[in-house]
């Protein structure tokens, strides 16, 4: 990491001594906030992002069931966030793993589950407490449990130097070297103080700054990207910008991964945040609109399904299965039996009725345990 690339940086480059007696540069960011030029373009993008996010949040008020959109949307965010880190797993693989109630999950599937658990854990905690250092450490511990990197001090700030570059690169050759371990605690305390202090800066802009600063500090040995992106959801919920975690912003970051990474690096080097903030706000705008469109499609589909079966003598049980399908469109007879707490033959009867109504169809024919899918729901929530 060359110091000359950071002449106008939002921070300073400092030379430190390595454990082997070598020397290398690290980047120490300044405390937030930076100076931001709110030009006409930035104000316009901010306005559009606020409008789209507000409409998405308002959809929560119309949801007939709290899990109707939250579970699939949060799952989508988890898949995309882990994909940025190189994990390759599809929505279908995750859904099938849940539908078949597999106790032994693949490492990739477990990373997705851990991400969901991390966000849910944090959302529960912030109902009564502020976002603080302890919460972020607890989130990291949940995220890393039983997956790759779980041996790298889960729940604790790093005590070794990390860097960003190729797997075989040395710290002296890295594209970017975060602060030395000794600087991390104070930097994180400053970040938390900024988050919990009221400012005139709009919440979405503060959220963009938070994500930049967290990724620059890179406080953990592993999992920094996932924690940093999960904090976006947590912060927006804490600030009441969204009522529930319906924003899957990581999809935009994954689609524009090169620009995402380049902007994070360039922002620190130049000290100019406007480009990064505009990119972040565009992500909020695009993903809020996408989530809203899908939400309306799902709500319309749910209503049409309910009309088909409402004359059934035992329609309440079938309606319960239909609502489950909106959280996971894949289902087995055993899963239906578990959902309704009924006998296997009764669960089988309900599944067969949904096949007759053309709500379900067989997803596989060769496996011993038949799996069924609500294909219209799946088409709406699957990966793009």
* Percentage, residues of the chain above pLDDT 90: 71
Task: Give every CB contact of residue 105 below 8 A, 6+ residues apart in sequence.
Answer: 97, 113
pLDDT reported for residue 124 = 96
pLDDT reported for residue 120 = 96
How confident is the model over 109-125, as pLDDT tens digits? 889 999 999 999 999 99
Residue ranges covered by each domain of the chain: 3-36+57-273, 311-381
Model confidence at 384: pLDDT above 50: no
Q: How large is the average pLDDT for residues 137-142?
A: 97
How confident is the model over 61-74, as pLDDT tens digits? 888 776 778 888 99
pLDDT reported for residue 168 = 65
Model confidence at 314: pLDDT above 90: no
3-state secondary structure of 361: strand
Length of the chain: 384
How confident is the model over 342-361, as pLDDT tens digits? 999 999 999 999 999 999 99
* Strand duo 372-373 + 361-362: pairing: antiparallel
* Strand duo 372-373 + 330-331: pairing: antiparallel
266 against 147, higher pLDDT: 266
Model confidence at 59: pLDDT above 80: yes
Rounded CA separation 85/100 (Å): 26
Model confidence at 367: pLDDT above 70: no
How confident is the model over 151-168, as pLDDT tens digits? 778 999 999 999 987 766
Band of pLDDT at residue 190, cut at 50, 70 and 90: very high
pLDDT reported for residue 127 = 94
Give the architecture (CATH level 2) of 311-381: Orthogonal Bundle (1.10)
Under CATH, what is the fold of the domain 3-36+57-273?
A: Fic-like fold (1.10.3290)
Least confident among 24-33, 249-258, 270-279, 310-319: 310-319
216 closest CA partner among 193, 183, 247, 246: 183
83 against 209, higher pLDDT: 209
Band of pLDDT at residue 104, cut at 50, 70 and 90: low
Rounded CA separation 138/120 (Å): 12
Q: What rounded mean pLDDT belongs to the chain?
A: 91
């Amino acid at each position: 990491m060359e110091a000359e690339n950071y002449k106008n940086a939002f921070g300073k480059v400092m030379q430190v001594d390595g454990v082997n007696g070598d020397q290398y540069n690290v980047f120490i960011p300044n405390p937030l906030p930076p100076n931001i030029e709110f030009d006409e373009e930035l104000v316009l993008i901010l306005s559009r992002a606020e409008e789209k996010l507000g409409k998405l949040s308002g959809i929560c008020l119309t949801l007939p069931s709290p899990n109707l959109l939250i579970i699939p949307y949060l799952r989508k965010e988890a898949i995309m966030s882990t994909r940025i880190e190189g994990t390759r797993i599809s929505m279908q693989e995750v859904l099938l793993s849940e539908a078949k109630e597999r106790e032994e999950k693949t490492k990739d599937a477990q990373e997705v589950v851990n991400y969901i658990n991390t966000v849910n854990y944090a959302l529960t905690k912030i109902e009564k407490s502020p976002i603080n250092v302890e919460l972020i450490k607890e989130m990291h511990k949940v995220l890393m449990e039983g997956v790759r990197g779980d041996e790298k001090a889960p729940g604790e700030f790093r005590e070794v130097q990390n860097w960003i570059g190729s797997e075989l690169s040395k710290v002296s050759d890295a594209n970017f070297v975060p602060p030395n371990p000794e600087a991390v605690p104070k930097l994180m305390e400053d970040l938390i103080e900024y988050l919990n202090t009221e400012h005139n800066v709009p919440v979405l802009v503060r959220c963009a700054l938070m994500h930049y600063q967290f990724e620059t500090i890179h406080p953990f040995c592993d999992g920094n990207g996932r924690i940093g992106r999960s904090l976006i959801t947590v912060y927006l919920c804490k600030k009441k910008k969204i009522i529930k975690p319906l924003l899957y912003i990581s999809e935009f970051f994954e689609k524009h991964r090169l620009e995402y990474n380049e902007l994070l690096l360039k922002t620190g080097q130049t000290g100019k945040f406007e480009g990064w903030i505009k990119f972040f706000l565009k992500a909020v705008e695009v993903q809020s609109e996408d989530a809203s469109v899908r939400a309306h499609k799902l709500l319309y589909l749910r209503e049409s399904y309910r009309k088909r079966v409402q004359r059934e003598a035992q329609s309440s049980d079938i309606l319960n299965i239909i609502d489950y399908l909106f959280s996971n469109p894949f289902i087995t007879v055993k899963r239906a039996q578990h959902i309704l707490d009924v006998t296997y033959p009764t669960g089988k009867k309900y599944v067969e009725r949904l096949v007759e109504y053309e709500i379900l169809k067989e997803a596989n024919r060769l496996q011993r345990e038949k799996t069924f899918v609500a294909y219209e729901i799946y088409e709406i929530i699957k990966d793009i």
